[in-house]
Amino acid sequence: MKMMDIGEVADRSGVPPSTLRYYEELGLIRSVGRRGLRRQFDADELLKLSLIALGRAAGFSLVEIAAMFGQDGQLDMPRDELRARADDLQRQMAKLRVLRDTLRHVADCKAPSHLECPTFRKLMKAASRTTEPRKLPARTGAERRR
């Protein structure tokens, strides 16, 4: 099987060597051995790196991503947790959609002040629905939520 030096992995994945070493340290990727000192990677790691990049883009932490791979290196989670994650992503997408629409609207809107524009306000209301956990009940303590 064809093995790659870290530099080749870096070039093909766009991820710098320092980061690859760091990822290996965290257990996100694995080198299959050494040639002299040099780590050897096989091609599967490229796929894994795509998945990692994807996960990062989706806002997962490295530790969370690591948890999604079993020690065998395969994606491995209880099915219902996978589905729950997928649903999180769906919600995340809804936020992005709102922001995207807001930006597009602002780009096109003629109103002198956005605060006065009904479309803008509607978008912002949609925004608050998706963003604010709203823990209003019980306001009697000091600066809370820590």
Partner DNA sequence: CTACGACTTCAAGCCAACTTGAGGTCAAGC
Partner DNA sequence: GCTTGACCTCAAGTTGGCTTGAAGTCGTAG
Per rule CB under 7 A, is residue 44 in the interface with DNA? Answer: no
Per rule CB under 7 A, is residue 128 in the interface with DNA? Answer: no
Per rule CB under 8 A, is residue 67 in the interface with a copy of itself? Answer: no
How far apart are CB 45 and a copy of itself at their closest, in Å? 12
Per-residue binding string, DNA, 55-74, x by CB under 7 A, is -x----xxx-----------
The residue ranges of DSSP E strands in the chain, in sequence order, are 3-4, 33-35, 38-42
Per rule CB under 7 A, is residue 143 in the interface with DNA? Answer: yes
Per rule CB under 8 A, is residue 107 in the interface with a copy of itself? Answer: yes
- Give Cα 24 distance to the centre of its chain: 19
Distance of alpha carbon 94 from alpha carbon 98, whole angstroms: 6
Q: Which strands form 38-42's sheet, in the order they lie side by side?
A: 3-4, 38-42, 33-35
Distance of alpha carbon 2 from alpha carbon 40, whole angstroms: 9
> Of residues 4-23, which lie at the interface with a copy of itself (CB under 8 A)?
7, 10-14, 16-18
Q: Which stretch binds DNA (CB under 7 A): 18-26, 89-97, 107-115, 127-135?
A: 18-26
Which residue number, 33 or 83, has a Cβ lying nearer to a copy of itself?
83
Per rule CB under 7 A, is residue 137 in the interface with DNA? Answer: no
Distance of alpha carbon 25 from alpha carbon 31, whole angstroms: 10
Six-digit token string for 102: 């807001």
Which partner from the list DNA, a copy of itself, none does 53 bind, CB cut-off 5 to 8 Å by kind?
a copy of itself
Six-digit token string for 56: 């990062």
